[in-house]
Chains A and B, each alone.
Chain A
């Protein structure tokens, strides 16, 4: 191969060796910076600019071996384990839905209905997976603010069409992601930026308080746990500076949401129910105790005839509120744990991979998605053992229990998460207008205005 003599020719020759097209401009940018520095140094030594450029290119080394070495580092990371766990979850979800409805008169209709939902969820996940997630960083506030305001329009979004219910309710699963984008957009604004993030994070809470009938506890718990954790994460990463008073803002946000939660609980009667269970709830409490107390490792629990009948009916009729409890009572602890194994793999691998993300946008997006799914799964497990309906959440267990809209949204979030992990080696945050300072810890550096640049 003929040796390139100009910087552009050299960069093209290196790029040809890198198979992942999205990685080429990322690598080229850094090499170009280096070649320019080297050319300027040779020019300063008194060489002709053209000669200096040729010398700089020569100094760089063989473009084929450089490109080959970089190709080995920059490859998409498909996260096969997580993709397999997701496929298993979706197949399990479909099998469970069909098992629940098997034998009912409308079974053939259910077959195409659930197949269509599972296919839609697959398609949405694939679209998010192959989409370059860095588009989220272009205008993050423009995306974040409407998403955070979405709960105000929940009643408008409560579309019921054919078998689709409560679309508006499930859009609140996007709230932590929206807050992550707001944090990304305002991360260089110090305490004022953090305060604005707190205000934006209170919008869904305000929507919940303003509604004539507060729409469940799920969103308030989500704001309390996920949003507070996200704000704390941002502060811990030093995205709003290192002032200690910023922690007061984070704590203030958490306390404000907690207060709103207490008010809503009081207003809706949850508060009094917690202290004194009504008659019909004590019946369900006793049923839960009976199932948990007599559950086997494998096989149906040795419960009373009345609870046995409840389990039989619940298993046939579906409904997401107590499905894990029904699984436990009908098939034992092994089934209870096995049903959650794919999600445990997804969350475990997700949290581990999340720590290796190098870009701030990638970290914030993946943390927000993982917080949402972890909370959704954890709250759902707890809700199964609480006799008070919808106290913690009304959302289904992700990718397991009944609920097509939630399935599609959860798959979209997982697709986005996998897209972040797939492109982690080429994700870049850039900082402008700052001369470098040498510091021991990156987290201790003053954060300046960052911009994410895209390579598609």
Chain B
């Protein structure tokens, strides 16, 4: 099934922040991790990811630092800041509210579907 790109792009910042919640990662690692966690559903283009990451860094939601990865190559790691954590929780809450509202509508409405 082909995913509607509009659905994914609106929640991209949420997905990227979520990926950083359990540890610092570099761009390539994030794309691979997203593929794995979404069961190969989300194929995020690097060209979309980096402007998004730099924008999040600009807003102070993530910070970045350079460090050698396991293979000995220098990589730029991204780290979720305290503000980023708060933004993630906020985005998660609004996404959950939105998703459950859409589900209720698809099931026929709150009064009928959940009765």
Point out the residues of chain A lying under 8 angstroms from B46, CB to CB. Answer: 31, 34-35, 38, 59-61
Min Cβ gap B86→A in Å is 14
Min Cβ gap B52→A in Å is 8
Min Cβ gap A354→B in Å is 13
Which of A64-72, A87-95, A241-249 is the interface stretch?
A64-72
A33 touches B50 (CB 8 A): no
Complex: how many Å from CA A356 to CA B70? 29
Is A48 on the interface with B (CB-CB < 8 A)? no
A430 touches B54 (CB 8 A): no
Contact mask for chain B residues 50-77; partner A; CB cutoff 8 A; 1 contact, 0 none: 1100110110100111111110011111
B27 touches A30 (CB 8 A): yes
B69 touches A72 (CB 8 A): no
Complex: how many Å from CA A34 to CA B69? 12
Is A100 on the interface with B (CB-CB < 8 A)? no
Point out the residues of chain A lying under 8 angstroms from B65, CB to CB. Answer: 429-431, 442
Is B48 on the interface with A (CB-CB < 8 A)? yes
B residues 1-51 touching A (CB-CB < 8 Å):
22-24, 26-28, 45-48, 50-51
Point out the residues of chain A lying under 8 angstroms from B26, CB to CB. Answer: 33
B58 touches A425 (CB 8 A): yes
A residues 146-191 touching B (CB-CB < 8 Å):
none
Is A282 on the interface with B (CB-CB < 8 A)? no
Point out the residues of chain B lying under 8 angstroms from A435, CB to CB. Answer: 67-70
Point out the residues of chain B lying under 8 angstroms from A105, CB to CB. Answer: none
Contact mask for chain A residues 412-439; partner B; CB cutoff 8 A; 1 contact, 0 none: 0000000000000100111111111011
Contact mask for chain A residues 33-59; partner B; CB cutoff 8 A; 1 contact, 0 none: 111111000000000000000000001
Is A97 on the interface with B (CB-CB < 8 A)? no
A72 touches B51 (CB 8 A): yes
Point out the residues of chain A lying under 8 angstroms from B60, CB to CB. Answer: 356
Min Cβ gap A248→B in Å is 28
Which of A31, A38, A62, A432 has a CB less than 8 Å from the CB of B74?
Answer: A432
Q: Which residue of A has the minimal Cβ distance to B70?
A: A435
Is A74 on the interface with B (CB-CB < 8 A)? yes
Complex: how many Å from CA A356 to CA B61? 11
A33 touches B70 (CB 8 A): no
Complex: how many Å from CA A167 to CA B77? 46
A436 touches B28 (CB 8 A): no
Min Cβ gap A158→B in Å is 45
With a 10 A CB-CB cut-off, give which of A34, A61, A448 has the most chain B CB atoms. A34
Point out the residues of chain A lying under 8 angstroms from B73, CB to CB. Answer: 33, 36
Given contacts A70-B51, A434-B67, 4 further A-B contacts (CB under 8 A): A27-B54, A429-B65, A439-B23, A442-B63
Q: Report 6 cross-chain contacts, Cβ distance below 8 Å, ordered by A residue.
A: A33-B28, A37-B28, A59-B45, A65-B47, A70-B51, A439-B23
Those 5 A-B pairs whose CB atoms lie nearest each other, nearest first:
A61-B47, A438-B23, A69-B51, A66-B47, A430-B66
